[in-house]
Structure 1
Amino acid sequence: MLCCSAQICGVWESPKKTLEAAEDIFDNASKCGAALISFPEQFATCWDPVSTKNIEDITGPTVTGLCRMAKKYSVGVVGSFRETCIPKPKNTAIAIDRNGEILAKYSKIHLFTPGHEDYAFTPGTGLAPFTFEGVRFGLAICYDLRFPEIFRLYRREGVDAIIVPAAWPESRLHHWELFIRARAAENQMYIVGVDATGNTPVDSYAGMSITADPYGTIIARAGKENELLYYEIDPCIVENARRDFPVHNDNKEALYASLHRKDTR
């Protein structure tokens, strides 16, 4: 399956202008034969850990705009937006199929507390595996990359690839590649990191979107500017990696769960 990471800088707090620009991305991806486009974290507004602007539900302009373009261009899409929730909104990623129908919705579990995202947002409490054209996908968001536990749970769900919309800052790009490759190799799955570009009032972003295969090898890497990065997702490669090197057969989850309760004095 040919997929596309849309590494872009959105228009600050302007979903309308960003979505207008996204039309060209859908057109390009469709002409190139891509089945699925993925955008960075809160791409339509740019990521802000404490913003209370442009909060919307799935009937709002961001999701309905993505659904419209997905159907118009017959391309699936993963986008991210600030979702209405009481008392505080959620940082949510959504997967939409070629017909403009919603496949899955995932809210960021690990809020970025160093940036006080937890002050303004509500953490998610569930995973979001979904199947798109024969490939089993999962969703995570940015800071989630630092927490391998949810990727292990997706592995148990039989996921082939996890898409990670992000606003990963330029100052920590060395961790970006490290975690993407590690999560891919640990779980023998594709990890698709889609990063933002440009400067915002929050931080500076240098793109470098990366896709790693089930062996932890980088198969696609973007530069620092706006770019459409194309790559293939092949579930047969996932199957082969897990069959040829069945490392998860040696997992001892029952033991791990008990170790923290043992008195080691």
Structure 2
Amino acid sequence: MRCCSAQIDGVWESPEQTLETAEPVFSDAARAGAALISFPEQFPTGWDPASNKNSEDLAGPTVTGLRRLAKKYSINVIGSFRETFSPKPRNTSIAIGNDGEILATYAKIHLFTPGMEDRTFTPGVSLATFTIEGVHFGLAICYDLRFPELFRLYRRKGVHAVIVPSAWPKSRLRYWELFIQSRAAENQMYVAGVNTTGTNPVDQYSGASMTADPHGTIIARAGTGNELLYYEIDPQFVKQTRRDFPVENDRKDALYISLMSEQTK
């Protein structure tokens, strides 16, 4: 399955303008044969841990626009936006099918407390999975990469690939590659991180969107500017890797739980 990471910087705090500028990206990805296109974290507005501007529900302009473009270009889409929620909005990714229908939504579970994102947003509490052309996907967002437990849960659900929309800063880029490779190798799955680029009022970003295969090998890597990064996902390769090296069989979850409970006594 051919996929595309759309490493683009949107128009700051302007969802409608960003979607307008993004339409040629849909067209290019569809012409290149991609079945799925993914965008960075909160790409219609830019990621800002202190802002709840332009938050909207599933009937708002961002999701409506993404659904329209998905259907127009017959391509599956993973977008990201600020979702209206009470008492505070959620940082949400959404998967939309090539018919324009919503496949899944995921609210960021691990909010970036060093940047005080938890003061402005409500954390999610659920996983999100969906299937396209026989590939079983999961969703995570940026800071989630630092928490291997989340990816282990997706592995237990039989996920072949996790897509991670992100706004990962240039200053911590070495961890970006480390975590993508680690989460992929640990769980014998594809992990595709799609990052933003450019400079905005929050930070400086340098792209480097990348995808690691079930061995943790980087199979696609973008540069520092706006770019469409293409890669292939093969669910049979995931299954074969797990059969050839069945590390999952050696996990001791009951013991881990017991040891953790001892630490709290």
Alignment-derived partner of residue 229 in structure 2: 229
Alignment-derived partner of residue 43 in structure 2: 43
1:50 deviates by 1.1
Q: How far, CA to CA, are the matches of 2:157 and 2:56 in structure 1?
A: 30
Residue 92 of structure 1: SS of its match in structure 2?
A: strand
Alignment-derived partner of residue 64 in structure 1: 64
Q: Does 1:210 align with 2:206?
A: no
Q: How far, CA to CA, are the matches of 2:212 and 2:110 in structure 1?
A: 22
Number of residues of Structure 1 aligned to a counterpart in Structure 2: 265
Alignment-derived partner of residue 240 in structure 2: 240
Q: Does 1:15 align with 2:15?
A: yes
1:52 deviates by 1.7
Q: How far, CA to CA, are the matches of 1:116 and 1:261 in structure 2?
A: 29
Cα distance per residue 1:136-171 (max 9 Å; x no partner): 000000000000001000000000000000000000
Q: How far, CA to CA, are the matches of 1:39 and 1:112 in structure 2?
A: 19
1:132 deviates by 1.2
Q: How far, CA to CA, are the matches of 1:174 and 1:119 in structure 2?
A: 27
Q: Does 1:258 align with 2:237?
A: no
Alignment-derived partner of residue 54 in structure 1: 54
Q: So what's the TM-score if we normalise by structure 2?
A: 0.99
Alignment-derived partner of residue 86 in structure 2: 86
Cα distance per residue 1:212-260 (max 9 Å; x no partner): 0000000000000000000001101100110000001000000000012
Q: Letter of the 2:8 partner, please give it.
A: I
Residue 261 of structure 2: SS of its match in structure 1?
A: coil
Q: How far, CA to CA, are the matches of 2:262 and 2:184 in structure 1?
A: 31
Q: Letter of the 1:216 partner, please give it.
A: G
Residue 46 of structure 1: SS of its match in structure 2?
A: coil
Q: Does 1:99 align with 2:99?
A: yes
Q: How far, CA to CA, are the matches of 2:261 and 2:49 in structure 1?
A: 35
Q: So what's the TM-score if we normalise by structure 1?
A: 0.99
Q: How far, CA to CA, are the matches of 1:178 and 1:229 in structure 2?
A: 19
Q: How far, CA to CA, are the matches of 1:219 and 1:58 in structure 2?
A: 34
Residue 261 of structure 1: SS of its match in structure 2?
A: helix
Q: How far, CA to CA, are the matches of 2:124 and 2:196 in structure 1?
A: 22
Q: Letter of the 1:223 partner, please give it.
A: G
Any gaps of 5 or more consecutive residues in structure 1? none
Q: How is 1:154-169 mapped onto 2 (pairs within 5 angstroms)?
A: 154-169=154-169
Q: How far, CA to CA, are the matches of 1:73 and 1:148 in structure 2?
A: 35
Residue 260 of structure 1: SS of its match in structure 2?
A: helix
Change (3 A) 1:256 1:10: same
Change (3 A) 1:264 1:84: closer
1:263 deviates by 7.1
Residue 262 of structure 2: SS of its match in structure 1?
A: coil
1:8 deviates by 0.5
Alignment-derived partner of residue 134 in structure 1: 134
1:133 deviates by 1.5
Alignment-derived partner of residue 112 in structure 2: 112
Q: How far, CA to CA, are the matches of 1:156 and 1:184 in structure 2?
A: 14
Alignment-derived partner of residue 180 in structure 1: 180
Any gaps of 5 or more consecutive residues in structure 2? none
- CA RMSD after TM alignment: 1.1
Q: How far, CA to CA, are the matches of 1:204 and 1:113 in structure 2?
A: 19
Q: How far, CA to CA, are the matches of 2:190 and 2:214 in structure 1?
A: 5
1:264 deviates by 11
